[in-house]
Structure formats: C-alpha cells, structure tokens
Amino acid sequence: MKYFFRLVPLLLLTGTALAQDDWLNLEKQSGVGLFQEKCGMCHRSGGMGAGILGRRMSAELAILENRDDLQGPYIETVVRNGFGIMFPISRGEVSDKQLQTIVSYLAEKESR
C-alpha cells in the first residue's frame, strides 16, 4: 500500500506532462490541422454548421474552407462571441494563437 501512495503522484505528474506536450503540439499545428480538429466537426461537409449555413447560401459556400469572403476580424468575433446557434469558443478551448492560425488559414488562404 505504501508503494501505491508513491506511485500516484508519479502517475499524476506523467499525465500532466503528457497533457502539456499535447497542448504544445496543438500550438504548432498548421491552420488546416487546427481547423480540422477544432472547427471541422461542424464546418466541414456533413457538419451542423455547414448544414445550417447551407439554408442561407449554396451548399458549397456553407463549407467555410470553400469561401473567399471571410475576413479575420469577423472570424475572431464569431468564434469568441458565437453567432446564431454557434456557441462562443473560449480561450481554453482554442487559444488566441491557435485562433490566429485558423484565421490565417481561412481568411488569408494560408497552406492552400
């Protein structure tokens, strides 16, 4: 039993280190990688966001990656404040640096 109490803090520290490593890897991802991971479930083909946007515009333009009219400040505002049924995305879910990388990908056509 005494070894258990020595092992638990070690496991907790290892888990924390792995979580931090994952976080650092996310910070280094490309715009397309971050978009796929953080936004793609809703804003790619078959996603709820693409479906709802598809009611107001063509199905092709409802997929955010296909659009060429998105501007950085608009994307940032919608992400942080939400819009319609889209809930706000906190800095804990998508850091400012990650958001800037996604904005570059969508608005400035980075990595395309």
Q: How far apart are CA 52 and CA 26, in angstroms?
A: 28
Structure tokens at 76: 């940032």
**pLDDT number for residue 77:** 98
Cα 89 to Cα 18: distance, rounded to the nearest angstrom: 24
DSSP 56: T
Q: Which domains does the chain have, with CATH numbers?
A: 30-107 (1.10.760.10)
Q: What is the pTM of this model?
A: 0.71
Tens digit of each residue's pLDDT, the chain (112 residues): 565 556 556 556 555 555 555 555 655 699 999 999 999 999 999 999 999 999 999 999 999 999 999 999 999 999 999 999 999 999 999 999 999 999 999 998 643 4
Whether residue 79 contacts residue 99, with contact meaning beta carbons closer than 8 Å, is answered with: yes
Q: Quick one: pLDDT at residue 108?
A: 81
Q: Which residues, including other chains, have CB under 8 Å from residue 88's CB and lie 6 or more apart?
A: 79, 80, 81, 82
Greatest CA separation for the chain: 64
Q: Which residue has the tokens 């796929």?
A: 36
* Residue-level pLDDT at 34: 97
